[in-house]
Amino acid sequence: MQDTSAIGEVVIQTLLQALLPDVTAKVQDRLQPNDDLITAQQVNKEYYHVSNDLTQRIVNQHGFPQTPIPGSKYPKYSRRAVEKFVADHQDYHI
């Protein structure tokens, strides 16, 4: 008799193989042409230039555009959506 965790792993892998192409296609449909997904570290490097802790607070706030990636605990971020978010939330101090 097989171990239940091994059976569970087979079931999970089978589900991922069946669902991943459909989910990937839906994520790609949400992205605009010439758009790419970037990580939180890339968001920080290209837009914010702050500490990692502050970057996590920024990307975890309500309304920040995230694209969940199936099978990954870390979401990615649409470059165009991040640019729009930054532009919409820019404070000018004159």
Burial of residue 29 (number of CB atoms within 10 Å: 0-12, 13-18, 19+): exposed
* Tens digit of each residue's pLDDT (9 = 90 or more) over 38-70: 999 999 999 999 999 999 999 999 999 998 888
What mean pLDDT is predicted for residues 64-78? 89
Which tokens sit at 14? 């089978």
- Between residues 21 and 3, which one has the greater pLDDT? 21
pLDDT value for 71: 86
Neighbours of 86 (CB within 10 A): 15
Kindly provide the b/e burial profile for residues 40-69, where b requires at least 16 CB atoms within 10 angstroms of the residue's own CB.
beebbeebeeeeeeebeebbeeeebebeee
* Tens digit of each residue's pLDDT (9 = 90 or more) over 4-28: 788 888 888 898 888 888 887 777 7
